[in-house]
A = this chain, B = another copy of it.
């Protein structure tokens, strides 16, 4: 997950201040009666230095003994849940059933993993991302992403519950007060989109536009990882850094593109954004920190 990598770099580059991380929960799904929050966990595990760099999800050195035994009852699983990862889901689910808010539980999980940054769900209300692929009905995001490996032409994204869901108060507060607001290199429709769709969120970001930057998840016309390019095309946008810049022109004063896309810088500037060209491929943590440093300096932090 590009966002998690970037955040780890950001924490390293920024040092002292306590970062607030607003995380998509539209991908949350229930498996075996457990509430799984893939994006929140990836962020926490990555910031804790405990994530599996090879897969981009889950914990390093993970075992899958419970999942293997669940086959007996449910048949072969299509969503991988490691044993230590399951402990997080058990804790989250138990607390949620006891009536605790996801934001409180997330803060506790981050704390127990030694993460200093304030990791928060975009909302304590449930939003569910569905993907409508040509030729079939809308299916929950994880089913599209993991089970069907994002095959097919995406015709529509449905953010069910987003109209009623309230953004987390602390998230709005962080946007209002932070010296810099950064939209990490991530899928604009299914990772960033659900956050922007919450009532009041886009307005809050517009108010912070002068202090805000976004980093393109598209390099050379392709998603660094995942289906962002296919989604841009399917949803009638240009599958390019410029296509992404257009989506954020009202909320970001700065747009960061990869050197591979340097020729798009002029077009980005024409959108009324400042184009910053740099290396955005985060092959290691040092490069992620360097990218974060470039973004922070562009925002004059």
Chain A residues with CB under 8 Å of chain B are 32-34, 63, 65-70, 72-74, 83-88, 90-91, 93-94, 97, 108-109, 112-113
Contact = CB atoms under 8 A, between A and B. Distances in A.
A90 to B, nearest CB: 5
Given A34-B90, A90-B33, A84 B65 contact: yes
29 contacts: A32-B94, A33-B90, A33-B97, A34-B90, A63-B63, A63-B83, A65-B83, A66-B83, A66-B86, A66-B87, A66-B90, A67-B87, A68-B84, A69-B84, A69-B85, A69-B86, A70-B87, A70-B90, A72-B87, A72-B112, A73-B87, A73-B88, A73-B91, A73-B108, A73-B109, A73-B112, A74-B91, A83-B83, A86-B86
Given A72-B112, A112-B73, A66 B91 contact: no
A33 B66 contact: no
Contact of A33 (B68, B74, B93, B108): B93
Contacts of A70: 87, 90-91
Contacts of A108: 73
Q: Main secondary structure on chain A at its contact with chain B?
A: helix
A147 to B, nearest CB: 19
A76 B277 CA distance: 50
Given A32-B90, A66-B84, A72-B87, 12 more contacts: A63-B63, A65-B65, A66-B86, A69-B83, A69-B84, A69-B88, A70-B91, A72-B113, A73-B108, A73-B109, A73-B112, A74-B91
Contacts of A73: 87-88, 91, 108-109, 112
Nearest to A109: B73
Contacts of A88: 69, 73
Contacts of A74: 91
A63 to B, nearest CB: 5
Contacts of A68: 84
